[in-house]
């Protein structure tokens, strides 16, 4: 046995023993194991809501059925500096049986098994000091975005420049001031510069390009300027900086993502869409400065459109499309996008507007398993699929026995669609009315029909029990009522 394997076995035994002691010495039922201490952090969970079951109240869950059931899966993440995540990580275990919460309360919990997984070590915080970000928004929306901005920007050396409209007679009485938001950003370790302008959104958007240029040229380390929306989210800042490192920032560069819908491209143009994040090298930003006033007067109704046309008319630079930057101009249910067996996106958009998917809650798993694990696909032996921090699903339209097992290819040759395992995205989102069969060919294909018979649990709470343990609560709801809960307890061993 190698020294590494010996350390792995000892670590696994210690964690298992500690859980057994908690279970035995405290007389705890399974629902009580690793229950939150007073300093427990609930990530976007509302512990003040009245719940059907007192024992889940501290975990931020609500509106559970009196007959709700729970299954608890214990996973131990053991750090390994010698590996990266595979697109699909297999877990050699099954989802534990469900039991009524009342049975848990009465001490009838089944013995539990801790399954250990080798996962990549968590890297140091990314250095993003070469990038500055600009956002045109309002004071209220900026306040609502600060914690999400802090997730990917705090402590990285980057600066966010916000150009906001000042409060006026129509502002809410609780609208924060710029100084209050500066103070809050400072408490989040977020470098935030706020400018106020009474002009409309499009004017502020173009004006932002001048502010970013001033900020960039006064900071020698800055080589990139980015335009984002206030609901742009970067799950892994390391992944973002790696993307930018593929480009020569000393040359004019225009980098971004297209909208997913071909019909929208035909309407709005072939350009970088700001919700996905637009990245301009400082040389290109400098070339644009003499033309910004002219570009502001273009007969185009979007800031992204004015910027794109300005670049095309007054420079020779063309768009470099990055597939990892996602505009997510999708209607309705976005879960198929997040659950697809695809690499972790560099950016996502519309997560709190067109869709309602709390990326802060989803990204809480980075504290235990690292940012590259967000949305990681874990496959259990009994065909449950866990999209880490987002959902747990069992599909009705796929059978892993139809896969030959050696390379994941389908044994069925007459199927019109690829499978989930093969990377086909479930088309859960709805047709906006202008799409065709080819609308998503350039962006989201391969697609497969929505699985109406699947069983889906969506994350509703992430509870940081201590620095090395986090409990994730996934809930299946019917007409808004929580019918059952899957709790996944992650414990980390190593760095």
DSSP 314-360: H-S--EEE-TTB-----EE--HHHHHSSSPPPSBB--TTTTS---HH
In a domain, 282, yes or no: yes
Band of residue 431 on the pLDDT scale cut at 50, 70, 90: low
Long-range Cβ contacts of 283-287 (<8 Å, 24+ apart): 283/249, 283/250, 283/251, 283/252, 283/253, 284/252, 284/253, 284/254, 284/311, 284/315, 284/317, 285/209, 285/212, 285/213, 285/216, 285/225, 286/213, 286/217, 287/252, 287/314, 287/315, 287/317
**Exposed (0-12), middle (13-18) or buried (19+): which is 439, by Cβ within 10 Å?**
buried
- Return the minimum-mean-pLDDT range out of 156-160, 236-240, 432-436: 432-436
Band of residue 225 on the pLDDT scale cut at 50, 70, 90: very high
Band of residue 152 on the pLDDT scale cut at 50, 70, 90: very high
Q: How far is CA 306 from CA 84, 203, 271, 292, in A?
A: 41, 10, 10, 9
CA distance 168 to 474: 42
Provide mean pLDDT across the span 358-375.
95
What is the residue-averaged pLDDT of the chain?
85
Residue 398 pLDDT exceeds 80: no
- Which of 254, 289, 321 terminates a domain? The answer is 321
Please indicate whether residue 360 or residue 18 has the higher confidence score (pLDDT). Answer: 360
Write down the pLDDT at residue 23: 35
In a domain, 328, yes or no: no
Does 195 share its domain with 303?
A: yes
Partners of residue 462 on adjacent β-strands: 43, 472
Phi and psi torsions of 195, nearest 5°: -120, 145
Domain that holds residue 169: 131-321
Does 165 share its domain with 19?
A: no
Band of residue 188 on the pLDDT scale cut at 50, 70, 90: very high
In a domain, 355, yes or no: no
In a domain, 350, yes or no: no
248-299 pLDDT tens trace: 999 999 999 999 988 889 889 999 999 999 999 999 999 999 999 999 999 9
- Which of 288, 321, 354 terminates a domain? The answer is 321
In a domain, 7, yes or no: yes
DSSP assignment string, 185-217: HHHTT--EEEEE--S-HHHHHHHHHHHHHHHHH
Band of residue 314 on the pLDDT scale cut at 50, 70, 90: very high
107 C-beta neighbours (distance < 10 Å), count: 11
Does 228 share its domain with 83?
A: no
Provide mean pLDDT across the span 294-312.
96
Does 138 share its domain with 228?
A: yes
Does 69 share its domain with 216?
A: no
Does 210 share its domain with 301?
A: yes
CATH code at position 315? 3.90.550.50
Does 242 share its domain with 283?
A: yes
Does 160 share its domain with 282?
A: yes
In a domain, 483, yes or no: yes
Report helix, strand or coil for 82: coil
Write down the pLDDT at residue 297: 96
CA distance 162 to 353: 20
Does 23 share its domain with 160?
A: no
In a domain, 420, yes or no: no
Does 219 share its domain with 290?
A: yes
Does 26 share its domain with 87?
A: yes
**Considering its fold, how many domains does the chain have in total?**
2
- Which of 270, 289, 321 terminates a domain? The answer is 321
Write down the pLDDT at residue 417: 82
Residue 7 pLDDT exceeds 50: no
In a domain, 274, yes or no: yes
Does 96 share its domain with 170?
A: no
- Return the minimum-mean-pLDDT range out of 2-11, 70-79, 353-362, 444-453: 2-11
């Amino acid at each position: 046995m190698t020294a590494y394997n010996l350390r792995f076995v000892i670590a696994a035994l210690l964690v298992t023993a500690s859980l057994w002691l908690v279970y035995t010495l405290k007389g705890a039922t399974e629902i009580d194991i690793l229950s939150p201490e007073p300093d427990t952090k609930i990530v976007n969970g509302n512990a003040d809501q009245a719940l059907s079951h007192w024992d889940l109240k501290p975990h931020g869950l609500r509106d559970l059925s009196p007959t709700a059931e729970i299954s608890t899966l214990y996973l131990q993440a053991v750090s390994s500096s010698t590996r990266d995540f595979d697109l699909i990580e297999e877990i050699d275990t099954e989802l534990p049986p469900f039991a009524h919460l009342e049975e848990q309360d009465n001490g009838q919990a089944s013995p539990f098994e801790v399954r250990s997984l080798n996962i990549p070590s968590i890297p140091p915080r990314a250095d993003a000091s070469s990038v500055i970000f600009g956002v045109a928004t309002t004071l209220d929306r900026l306040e609502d975005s600060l914690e999400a901005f802090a997730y990917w920007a705090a402590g990285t050396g980057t600066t966010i420049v916000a150009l906001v409209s000042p409060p006026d007679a129509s502002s809410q009485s609780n609208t924060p001031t710029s100084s209050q938001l500066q103070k809050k950003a400072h408490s989040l370790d977020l470098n935030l510069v706020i400018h106020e302008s009474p002009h409309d959104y499009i004017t502020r958007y173009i004006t932002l390009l001048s502010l970013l240029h001033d900020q960039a040229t006064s900071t020698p380390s800055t080589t990139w300027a980015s335009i984002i929306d206030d609901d742009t989210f970067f799950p892994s800042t390391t992944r973002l900086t790696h993307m930018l490192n593929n480009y020569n920032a000393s040359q004019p560069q225009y980098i971004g993502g297209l909208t997913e819908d071909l019909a929208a491209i035909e309407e709005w143009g072939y350009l970088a869409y700001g919700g996905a994040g637009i990245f301009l090298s400082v040389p290109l930003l400098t070339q644009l400065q003499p033309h910004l006033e002219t570009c502001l007067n273009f007969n185009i109704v979007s800031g992204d459109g004015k910027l794109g046309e300005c670049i095309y008319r007054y420079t020779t630079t063309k768009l470099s499309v990055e597939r990892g930057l996602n505009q997510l101009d999708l209607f309705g249910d976005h879960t198929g996008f997040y659950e697809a067996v695809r690499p972790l996106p560099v950016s996502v958009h519309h997560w709190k507007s067109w869709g309602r998917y709390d990326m802060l809650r989803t990204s809480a798993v980075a504290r235990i398993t690292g940012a590259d694990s967000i949305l990681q696909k874990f496959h259990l032996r009994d065909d449950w699929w866990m999209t880490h921090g987002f959902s747990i699903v069992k599909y009705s339209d796929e059978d892993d026995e139809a896969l030959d097992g050696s390379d994941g290819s389908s044994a069925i040759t007459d199927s019109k669609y690829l499978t989930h395992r093969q990377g086909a995205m479930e088309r859960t989102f709805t047709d906006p009315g202008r799409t065709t069969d080819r609308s998503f060919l350039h962006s989201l294909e391969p697609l497969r029909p929505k699985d109406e018979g699947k069983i889906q649990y969506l994350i509703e709470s992430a509870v940081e029990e201590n620095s090395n343990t986090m409990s994730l609560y996934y809930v299946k709801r019917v007409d808004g009522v929580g019918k059952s809960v899957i709790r996944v307890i992650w414990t980390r061993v190593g760095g």
